[in-house]
Structure 1
């Protein structure tokens, strides 16, 4: 056996079948995935521009802002990757934030016509479709059966990982396209090596595009691919030297493509302004709980026991809902590895297992308790860029490994003798059904006050605005001022914002620093000096349920020295 052998061997009657003209199967698969995604997101369909997918409104507002920023920046000669429209005057480094400029460009026609919230919702619906279709296409080298490939794509694109991140509005993570590309690249570049220059360039293009979706996925993918490469070298040491020349050509093409497209983004990432200077999030608080692998989260349709534990883990850390595998699919995966005597299958299983172990973080957590047992993830904590990644997000590679193994199992079952084919296929489908998502994907209000919907009349791009309420990291409602600014068409800059950055004396920021004005009390002179320091020209007091409007108006009058005026229900104080 060699690694290059196909997973699905041709049968004796394949010769005549190859002579037939077969229509490609991917359009049917894409249509099926699209229907599933529309059904999953049905709660926003009737009001795409005023309802946002996910119950974490801060993240949907954040992505809505970035989707509006990209076409605005391009249309107004601004740098789309470095902005002072939030966090003014210092600004924000887009490469350290989930700025999704690729989607900003792709969805710009919707943003500029139907609005940025509608673009966000369309992006959330397209993400699982694109992820599932990428997996379907990557599986072409692994399985012959189109139904098996379609099922594998569905498991990946609509499995717990993507659905859990969809529930919290993570647009960058529902577009999980790079892992299937890496699955293709491992086979094409490390094993087959038929077109090293072309395949290396294609991989470089995929990495460059992923840089415009989410840079962390590139870092995670590099770790997984490196581990797989080491496994291949250890298992087949005699093939290492003969393959090095072609591998070198592929890597050169990859680096050339990434360098040509991403030289400036890489500089922003590694040495650009406003980047964080410390650990963004402690890995212990963003790693997979071992119990989450078998405790079903509320996002799944079929009850299998331990739902209370799954709900409790997901409530503490919503991304725990993305880690679920379940005993039925774990059994299928183990059986596939043991029964399908194929080196490629075992390499995929090893890659998935490594990703699973790393996703557990630096110390083992079990049912919400930190056991103190050290894990290999500790070593990655000190690696630049890679150490900033949240361990639980390695789960996307675990999901991909599961999808591949299940697709291989179904493909083999479909070619089994008739007497065992039906029970085998039915058993595999029953196991796959444990990943069916529940009809529980929520939507939140994403409407803006009339003043912002009208384009913030009286304000211009020369204005720097402070808002009451200010933008914060609060998951529900915290980023409302960013949504309002996006709906106003980026009519002004603002000093607030929900973003990742830094400031003197603050190595990591997750929101703009509060000024003396934001206390809404205290020393008016100090508040006035802070507004001067920030270059604020306009203060907006926006009536909201959590805002004491009379008190905020009195304070703002005291600080600015102007009475203010009401425009479309919003108090405007021009200094």
Structure 2
């Protein structure tokens, strides 16, 4: 992905361009006072496009959640709220016992996005966590696309309109790629902010394009960038570092004679990077490696987290143009949020033609890294339209490496999207050289048009209502300081409103803690916990709601003991799907708590009787 000159390549004279082709790190290119205006224009265009895609949320940013489901959206909104609330109330922003009480959760083992929480805190504090989440979903592609447009500056030769067109189109392709569209509809805030890959692309130019200038500073900057990603999303950090190394290996294989002269500078840069990363990121790293309630076993089955082989040519409904037969996308493995690997026949054809006819080492390196990333994204074995033919793949070797085994290979598709966008930028940049006129130029433009159109987003983004019972929206003095609430309906990881209790907790101003939640943690009995285990109060509530059992007095006493063990001081029985609480659940709660309860707004509150021996 580096604009190094290979054998037979030529560079245009410096005077033919307004900017140097490969600026040294630390040597600022000549800029005019108005150099920032094109970036501002690109940001505005990307923002308009992002708002258009999410038009269903406009006007109701505080009352709907962008995405097809609410669980992940509610979880992200909770964490966006936690950091500013914790800082303002003297709590640790990276550890919390406000969910999974009394054990709590470790933010670095959850998708807590603390960096985004800090950046979006003005929105959170003024308009609420739901609005902050929606703002993040809208802005993520904008910032990611703009980052790529900036990162391509050393690689795109052309000045003026052609250069800006090449970089701007590449930024748009990346920002609204099938990868980002899929993760937006799944509510994956951490993945629509894919800023690290473009930043690493720019850093790779400074680290690898020529002997490293000021290696200590280059390494320190890289270390700071990695720390920033560490407190945004750790899995993306691991993927970024892996493919920075892959890029270096590809370059070394392509130009082996340049390796030895480059080693001293790269070694200094690596030492500086690791040192800065270890010092600045010491506390987050400790939380990952030895922090409290971290999971003690694998979070997921890595063999089931690869991309479907067919997805490269089979689009989902996220893409406006769908050449595949109707219904074929329904056979892809995984859910819609992990089906963002579409490249398409037209775009693949453009990449192949560009590799064959454009004399650019940067373009060919980008294509090679993209191809490696695509193979890695398939995971440990081939999956074709949901079927597993049993063909092993190279990623299986990564699964034996601690921590790296937690990577979901399907999410490496972001590197594929980046490389495709970079190839398109370099193709547009070199187009006058490879197709100067006539039918060749016409054919090249037609192919480019088909490829660009094939990535047009469909108008298929969704929103879900983010309802909050009146009590939680305005709790008044309903909750006491230090309250721990058991909420019914139970907090779970279910996609459809499973984590709505966390939304209610945020809306209450964090007026209580809860033993439930949707998170990644562990406890004494389980090495991995994704949601709090069922207690006997919850089991009994499910029994009576289903009309299956009338719990015995002994079981009732045991349920009361479970609530005491968890430190529960109040039970809140809230409406379910807009329906009033089930009378049978209310009666069961009265038996367990020994309290007749009181209706406060639209929620019943019960205070358990004083602690006594459990049955």
Is residue 2:406 matched to residue 1:388?
yes
Deviations 1:362-385 (A, max 9, x none): 111111100101110111111111
Distance 1:5 1:73, change over 3 A: same
Is residue 2:214 matched to residue 1:195?
yes
When the two chains are superposed, the root-mean-square deviation of aligned CA atoms in Å is 2.0
Is residue 2:334 matched to residue 1:334?
no
1:154-303 alignment runs, 5 A limit: 154-192=172-210, 193-303=212-322
Distance 1:72 1:223, change over 3 A: same
Deviations 1:242-297 (A, max 9, x none): 21221122122222322232100000011111111222111232211101111110
2:451 equivalent among 425, 428, 431: 431
Is residue 2:516 matched to residue 1:514?
no
Bigger Cα Rg:
2
2:559 equivalent among 511, 527, 531: 527
Distance in 1, matches of 2:164 and 2:330, equals: 35
Q: How far did residue 30 of structure 1 move? A: 0.9
Distance in 1, matches of 2:445 and 2:477, equals: 62
SS of alignment partner, residue 322 of structure 1: coil
Higher deviation after alignment, 292-301 or 544-553:
544-553
Preserved CA contact (<8 Å) 2:307 2:383:
yes
Distance in 2, matches of 1:381 and 1:17, equals: 44
SS of alignment partner, residue 147 of structure 2: helix
Distance in 2, matches of 1:413 and 1:447, equals: 52
Distance in 2, matches of 1:299 and 1:20, equals: 39
Preserved CA contact (<8 Å) 1:464 1:492:
yes
Distance in 2, matches of 1:472 and 1:122, equals: 25
Normalised by the size of structure 2, how large is the TM-score? 0.89
1:404-443 alignment runs, 5 A limit: 404-414=422-432, 416-419=435-438, 420-421=440-441, 423-443=443-463
Higher deviation after alignment, 179-188 or 564-573:
179-188
Distance in 1, matches of 2:258 and 2:457, equals: 43
Distance in 2, matches of 1:123 and 1:10, equals: 41
Q: 1:552 — aligned with what?
A: 585
Is residue 2:602 matched to residue 1:569?
yes
Q: 2:143 — aligned with what?
A: 130
Q: 1:93 — aligned with what?
A: 106
Q: How far did residue 3 of structure 1 move? A: 6.2
Higher deviation after alignment, 450-459 or 562-571:
450-459
Q: How far did residue 23 of structure 1 move? A: 3.1
Preserved CA contact (<8 Å) 1:178 1:210:
yes
Distance 1:20 1:471, change over 3 A: closer
Distance in 1, matches of 2:58 and 2:444, equals: 38
Distance in 1, matches of 2:393 and 2:258, equals: 32
Higher deviation after alignment, 440-449 or 11-20:
11-20
Distance in 2, matches of 1:271 and 1:357, equals: 33
Distance 1:555 1:8, change over 3 A: farther
1:441-452 alignment runs, 5 A limit: 441-452=461-472
Q: How far did residue 456 of structure 1 move? A: 5.9
Distance in 2, matches of 1:222 and 1:408, equals: 24
SS of alignment partner, residue 382 of structure 2: strand
Preserved CA contact (<8 Å) 1:451 1:457:
no
Deviations 1:326-348 (A, max 9, x none): 11111111221222232222222
Q: How far did residue 467 of structure 1 move? A: 0.3
Distance 1:452 1:217, change over 3 A: same
Preserved CA contact (<8 Å) 2:98 2:512:
yes
Distance in 2, matches of 1:287 and 1:346, equals: 25
Higher deviation after alignment, 251-260 or 322-331:
251-260
Distance in 1, matches of 2:321 and 2:476, equals: 47
Q: How far did residue 425 of structure 1 move? A: 3.0
Distance in 2, matches of 1:8 and 1:450, equals: 69
Q: How far did residue 322 of structure 1 move? A: 0.7
Deviations 1:445-470 (A, max 9, x none): 01211111114642144111110011
Distance in 2, matches of 1:129 and 1:405, equals: 20
Preserved CA contact (<8 Å) 2:350 2:447:
no
Deviations 1:20-41 (A, max 9, x none): 9563421111111111111111
Normalised by the size of structure 1, how large is the TM-score? 0.96
Distance in 1, matches of 2:19 and 2:359, equals: 26
Which structure has the highest helix share of the two? Answer: 1
Distance 1:190 1:510, change over 3 A: same
Q: 2:54 — aligned with what?
A: 41
Report the count of equivalent residues.
573
Distance in 1, matches of 2:131 and 2:103, equals: 30
- Please list every run of 5 or more consecutive structure 1 residues that lacks an aligned counterpart in the other structure: none
SS of alignment partner, residue 369 of structure 1: coil
Q: How far did residue 549 of structure 1 move? A: 1.9
SS of alignment partner, residue 281 of structure 2: helix
Distance 1:357 1:16, change over 3 A: closer
Q: How far did residue 84 of structure 1 move? A: 0.3
Q: How far did residue 426 of structure 1 move? A: 4.0
Q: How far did residue 547 of structure 1 move? A: 7.7
SS of alignment partner, residue 366 of structure 1: coil
Q: 1:313 — aligned with what?
A: 332
Preserved CA contact (<8 Å) 2:574 2:581:
no
Q: How far did residue 17 of structure 1 move? A: 8.8
4+ runs of 1 displaced by more than 6 Å? 16-20
Q: 1:487 — aligned with what?
A: 507
SS of alignment partner, residue 371 of structure 1: coil
Q: How far did residue 43 of structure 1 move? A: 0.6
Distance in 2, matches of 1:308 and 1:137, equals: 39
Deviations 1:294-330 (A, max 9, x none): 111011111212342123327x422342111111111
Is residue 2:421 matched to residue 1:379?
no
Distance 1:209 1:556, change over 3 A: same
SS of alignment partner, residue 365 of structure 1: coil
Distance in 2, matches of 1:397 and 1:456, equals: 49
Preserved CA contact (<8 Å) 2:484 2:513:
yes
Is residue 2:366 matched to residue 1:353?
no
Is residue 2:100 matched to residue 1:80?
no
Q: 2:548 — aligned with what?
A: none
